[in-house]
Structure 1
Amino acid sequence: MKRIHLVYGDITTQKVDAIVNAANTSLLGGGGVDGAIHRKGGEQILAECQKIRNKQGGCAVGEAVITTAGLLPSHYVIHTVGPIWQDGQANEDQLLKKAYLNSLKLAEKYQLSNIAFPNISTGVYHFPKVQASEISIETVLEFLEYNQYLQDIYFVCFDKENFQIYQHLLSQIQTDKIQVLGL
């Protein structure tokens, strides 16, 4: 049985195969979760991000790339770029779904069994938190129906508001194929 875990805490401390970084298109670090991952993960993450930049020129919104996790307890960091909220007028829903989906596909490609997501785009990018959590949960549930390797998905909420939103939405899931933990 596949599992979805809800965690109230810091994604940089998660002992999973990969954590997802809510990166910016430059891949050079920034504020929020991106800055925390780069600071705590060390120079190796930045060095690999610079190699990716030199090869492909950064990471487009909705896309995802993978690096080592450096000094973090996970094995990899999957960097994805969520959309900046523009009042729903710039395909933000589809771009956010694509960011989650491409992160999941990359984890599957690397045959990872678990992955931890932050609340992508809900900080300085101002994506409405309820809408973002609905998109993330829906995308994960759809993906878990047909993937081969991923067994555990962690939603790691750094702030109480996001945690409570996820808690409410995940408590409504009714399926015999996926177990929801941490409510």
Structure 2
Amino acid sequence: MGSQSRTCNVAESASERHGPCAQELRTLRRLKLRASLQLTASGLGSLFREGSLGRLISLELDMELDDQALALLVKGCPLLQVLSLYSYGDITEVGLATIVNNCPNLESLVLPGPYEVQRLCLAGLVVSMPKLRHLHLDLIEMVDDPLLESLTRGLPHLRVYNSHGQLLMSVLCQTCG
């Protein structure tokens, strides 16, 4: 079966909750949104309000996003298995904690931007995201970090990548013994 493509005006669907475009969005399983859209962080957040995209399992965003929009996103998409946020935006530790605390089904989390990731936020991955298999963060300076070693023990199927896409797991597993 070939892949199906649908075109929908995202700006219209954000303001028209029950129109044909809004109905199309409710059936989506995979969504990619690029920075070329003229949509603010709050406008983007409104797309995810009230479960309008509640069936999504994969979401790739390359546009500005803040903590408030991110909270609406993860709470509005409880089935997410893949989340990739490529734009740096205004996401803080609070936003990352929102992902950790609200996305138990995530198998892949891609955050390659220069987010301020704190150890406290990462510590919650083992308990809150037991299905996580791929973690892609800008962690070049944290390769020997004891917390990442702890993550590999708690989630033995987890693969951790740095901002260049290099697998850090092999370095960490040598010390996990």
More strand by share: 1
TM (norm. structure 2) is 0.38
TM-score when normalising by structure 1: 0.37
Structure with higher Rg: it is 2
Greater relative contact order: 1 or 2 (C-alpha under 8 angstroms, separation 6 or more)? 1
